[in-house]
Structure 1
Amino acid sequence: MPGTGQVLRSEWTKISSVRSTVWTLGIALVVTVALGALISALVRNDWENMSAHDRLTFDPTYVSFAGTGLGQLAMIVFGVLVVSNEYSTGMIRTSLAAVPRRGLFLFGKIAVATLLALAVSMITSFVTFFTGQAMLGDHRAALGDPGVLRAVLGGGLYMTLITVFAMGIATVLRSPMLSLGVLMPFFFLVSNILGNVSATEKVGDYLPDQAGQRIMQVVTAGDDAPYGPWGGFAIMALWVAAALAAGYLLLRRRDA
């Protein structure tokens, strides 16, 4: 029976040998950095037209992460493909025959993909921050300013948890099309709608993406969320833990 090291090496080989999964990580980096830089440049050019209230609540760090909402979609695709590719090709039967301990199998897959996502996400977060601040010019923040380093590290952690959440949901649904069909509209449409409609705004505060994004905020003036940056991150972590637990339980009970 294969050990943990062998399972981890096997999962690394699977991920690194599939071009589509690797490309999605590159797309996430490029989209997040490019869109953040563009929005930052637009904000700097429009600074003179901003109201006194907007200037007072201006968060240069959070502005540089404006591309995260779109970049996270590529991370979601990566998380889904890592898990569901084997189901779509039928290789899951071979994998489970080689690693009959399903908990170990899932742990190996999640662990390798999470470490890879963490590395890419942290690089993306720091590059996004420095690029965005360069575009903001005189309105930029410094990494040593209060709360900024936490926000930049939080940006990397946020994108990592989004990836892990996608892996948990893909383990539950197994189908790549079904998983993406649920996750993409949820994060791109449903979450934004619930968070921006007064009747459902309080519900939106507790969705994984909206709660998790608080970790990237430095200026919280006018923010009426019932929790702080780490509180929002904890809420997101609970969503991720629930998705992984559901995926593990179903993986144990279902046939391949």
Structure 2
Amino acid sequence: MAATQVVRSEWTKIRSVASTVWTLSLAVVVTIALGMLISGLSAHEFDNMSERDRLSFDPTFISFAGMSLGQLALIVFGVLVVSNEYSTGMIRTSLAAVPKRGTFLASKVAVATGLALVVGVATSFVTFFLGQAMLGDHRAEIGDPGVLRAVLGGGLYMALIAMFSMGVAAMLRSPMLSLGILMPFFFLVSNILGNVSATEKIGRYLPDQAGSRIMQVVTPIDDDKPYGPWGGLGIMVLWVVAALLGGYLTLKKRDA
């Protein structure tokens, strides 16, 4: 089967499965709604902040506060895109039609990533503008230094989260096992490692901790990370490459 046909087939699979559509929709709603809520609360509390907190106040990053929950929906999306065929047994039919497993996985990842990127960038821009509207006088403008980079970076971050999840799902092949590992990792483990002094230097190199740096415009006063916005995104890309490589090797060596 030609590569274009494989891509077209993967697109048909994704858009025909209701769960993948719903997870993307949930990512959009949660990210925007929570971002607006936190932005509104931050604007209300600004006058009560300490001088230190005001110096670290980042209106752009605050509007992305909903990303922490929105990314969980992207994780579910990435896992379902890959593991749905294993849970239904359709993977055997798919691999019989596309015996080149590298082409099969690459097409699946490319289509899902393209969709996640479009949704992510659109969500990022809407989240930013609505969040800034809630911040009122404390808002940032899209033309301010570093802001456009941060907004575009938010879309890239969401796409990379989906890609990482696809790689992990390709390795584990089970939706329940994949979600059972990824959900606690991003929602609990990463936050704990990144905020406890004894493990902070380890946590800063985890994919979400490093990748989210691209969405920051104002560097906090006590921030001592040895990388900047693009360096952090680069670290996240390395995690994604490692996950996808692991997924490819697993798919290549194991029977369907």
The amino acid of 2:226's aligned partner reads P
Equivalent residue number for residue 241 of structure 2? 241
Equivalent residue number for residue 146 of structure 2? 147
Equivalent residue number for residue 12 of structure 2? 13
Give matches, 1:35-50, under 5 Å: 35-50=34-49
The amino acid of 1:147's aligned partner reads G
Moved more, 119-128 or 221-230: 221-230
* C-alpha distance in structure 1 between counterparts of 2:138 and 2:36, whole Å: 14
Deviating beyond 6 angstroms after TM superposition, the runs of 4 or more aligned structure 1 residues are: none
SS in 1 for 2:54: helix
SS in 1 for 2:70: helix
The amino acid of 1:123's aligned partner reads A
The structural deviation recorded for 1:54 is: 0.7
The amino acid of 1:194's aligned partner reads L
SS in 2 for 1:46: helix
* C-alpha distance in structure 2 between counterparts of 1:41 and 1:187, whole Å: 25
The structural deviation recorded for 1:48 is: 1.2
Equivalent residue number for residue 28 of structure 2? 29
Equivalent residue number for residue 190 of structure 1? 189
TM-score by length of 1: 0.99
* Cα root mean square deviation, aligned: 0.5
* C-alpha distance in structure 2 between counterparts of 1:47 and 1:5, whole Å: 53
SS in 2 for 1:80: helix
Give matches, 1:76-95, under 5 Å: 76-95=75-94
* C-alpha distance in structure 1 between counterparts of 2:250 and 2:29, whole Å: 35
* C-alpha distance in structure 1 between counterparts of 2:146 and 2:232, whole Å: 15
The structural deviation recorded for 1:47 is: 1.1
The structural deviation recorded for 1:212 is: 0.2
* C-alpha distance in structure 2 between counterparts of 1:108 and 1:52, whole Å: 51
* C-alpha distance in structure 1 between counterparts of 2:213 and 2:149, whole Å: 11
* C-alpha distance in structure 2 between counterparts of 1:44 and 1:107, whole Å: 44
Identity of aligned residues (%): 75
* C-alpha distance in structure 2 between counterparts of 1:47 and 1:217, whole Å: 18
The amino acid of 2:127's aligned partner reads T
SS in 2 for 1:66: coil
Give matches, 1:68-147, under 5 Å: 68-147=67-146
* C-alpha distance in structure 1 between counterparts of 2:29 and 2:194, whole Å: 27
Residues 23-75 of structure 1 show CA distances to partners (whole Å, capped at 9, x for unaligned) of 10000000000000000000011111111111111000000000000000000
Residues 158-190 of structure 1 show CA distances to partners (whole Å, capped at 9, x for unaligned) of 010000000000000000000000000000000
Residues 122-161 of structure 1 show CA distances to partners (whole Å, capped at 9, x for unaligned) of 0110000001000000000000000000000000000100
* C-alpha distance in structure 1 between counterparts of 2:246 and 2:55, whole Å: 43
* C-alpha distance in structure 2 between counterparts of 1:104 and 1:236, whole Å: 24
Residues 200-256 of structure 1 show CA distances to partners (whole Å, capped at 9, x for unaligned) of 000000000000000000001421111100000000000000000000011000000
* C-alpha distance in structure 2 between counterparts of 1:89 and 1:43, whole Å: 46
5+ long unaligned stretches in structure 2: none
Equivalent residue number for residue 255 of structure 1? 255
5+ long unaligned stretches in structure 1: none
